[in-house]
Structure 1
């Protein structure tokens, strides 16, 4: 969060979600630059990505490269998931939906950066990459023969 100057460094919400096993944080880096931060991901136990942000809470022009990798990653982890992962994912999705409703009810806005003033629920919903939709997209990408140059840490 410090390296990319985004919201994860300010909020205990992420740590509470990790403790409840509602969501997790991962760091995406380019394989040829493993020491340099690229994107931070928040994802649910089934691989559904809640947020994906780089420097300053942005999604830059290189974002499509990250999305392509995330879709392949989501597909790759599916065979390894346990019944407990799916149970936790169902709870996580339900909590996410409730959080979005509450944010809309409160008319919560983004406080800082280039998204300041935008409805927070809209920003979070736009970031969402649900597994079932992304697995289909990953199959199309693989058929096109695109290789990934990214790694998750």
Structure 2
């Protein structure tokens, strides 16, 4: 490694490379005040001289802030609107038991019975997408 161990004196910190910085930021977090002194000094020197290290540092801060943000809740009535919309979709008659139900092999579109599970999966993924939706520069709209 390119930095001194924990037992070294503060003044003896050596230069740190970006790969080591990335490993340390993954393990210790982006709050440099919680890093051991020698590693913190080497990280500060690297941040002053490396755009790549600064980008990693900013990315780690963004991830931390996203994880600390309030949980995102679905708007009231969203599930009911999804179920109502799914009920309004045209239904295809059930295929006979002896015929395969492989819609892709026959060139047909997916059966309407698969729409509700996909919509419910999308509802479960809504909190994960919330971080993207909080960014004002993205042209995304969620309205049902």
Which has the bigger relative contact order, CA under 8 A and spacing at least 6? 1
Higher strand share: 1
Shorter-chain TM-score: which interval? under 0.3
TM-score, scaled relative to structure 2? 0.25
